[in-house]
Amino acid sequence: MGQIVAGYAISHSSMMVSQPELVEPEVRGRCYAALERVREEIAALAPDCLVVVGGDHFNNFFYDLYPQWCVGRAEEYSGWADNIPMYKATGDPILSNHIISSLLEQGFEPAFSNEMKLDHAFFGPLHFVTPKMDIPIVPVFQNTITYPLATLKRSLALGEALANAIASSPDDKRIVIIGSGGLSHWLGGPEHGRLNPEFDHEFMRRFAANDREWLTSFTDDEIIELAGNGGHEIRNWLTVRGALGNAPAESIYYDPLYPWYVGAGISHIEPETVA
């Protein structure tokens, strides 16, 4: 039986990796220190696998066929695009197949892929928190970028289903689940570069308090108004929230990183019981 030993929600920006000089040293130092803390915590937990929930920025999935969800089940994954290192990470196809089957039993019908590539939504956070890429991953793609989008409640429910899948896996694997994306950011268009720290602080507070009703209360139009088009990525936070039950979250970090175009937050959820 598998076990989730920690959950993290981590904002991403490709420029966090590729253009550190855009943010003044003191500010970027706070961000990198928080990511380093996550790296140390994950190293200490020594998980067997990372389940990483992330999106795509029209680098891998296109309109020939756009899934709401896609679970990777490759032996190995390659990084792709965004001017970050073209990493490779080992997969865990046995766990992937179990997760896919379990999701199907629970009423989710994800696509699956042996060849999906992973852009900075995945390798951005991993660049910092597992820089050696020495822990196998199961990537779970979630549409956070193009309409129509699944509801926030569905993203939360996906997390609950992933937790059930991990708990019912035949191996005794220790799993860290990471959700990548958010918080507020406006990309492209007349408000490019805008952030909303007020929304981000409130979101992290409600995330910490496990206020699921509030967290899932927004329509897509309300997300656009409050958190911008990049704000749809809060779905990946909700999936982590759903996977960790009622455990409170700890807000590790927040800064509105305007030069990197992201309201950047990091939260950690320790499960209520870890064997």
Q: What is the set of active-site residues? A: 120, 185
Cβ atoms of residues 220 and 232 within 8 Å? yes
Q: In what order do the strands lie in the sheet with 3-10?
A: 111-113, 69-72, 137-142, 49-54, 174-180, 3-10, 262-269, 249-257
Name residue 54's beta-bridge partners.
141
Distance CA 74, CA 177 (A): 18
Cβ atoms of residues 96 and 73 within 8 Å? yes
Query: Which residue type sits at 196?
Result: N
Read off the tokens for 62. 């296109």
Read off the tokens for 123. 């390798």
Instruction: Supply angle C-alpha 233, 235, 241, rounded to 5.
Output: 130
Cis status, amide bond into 65, omega within 30 of 0: no
Cβ atoms of residues 233 and 182 within 8 Å? yes
Residues 6+ apart with CB under 8 A from 158: 53, 69, 103, 108, 140, 142, 239, 242
> 186 burial class (0-12, 13-18, 19+ CB within 10 angstroms)?
buried
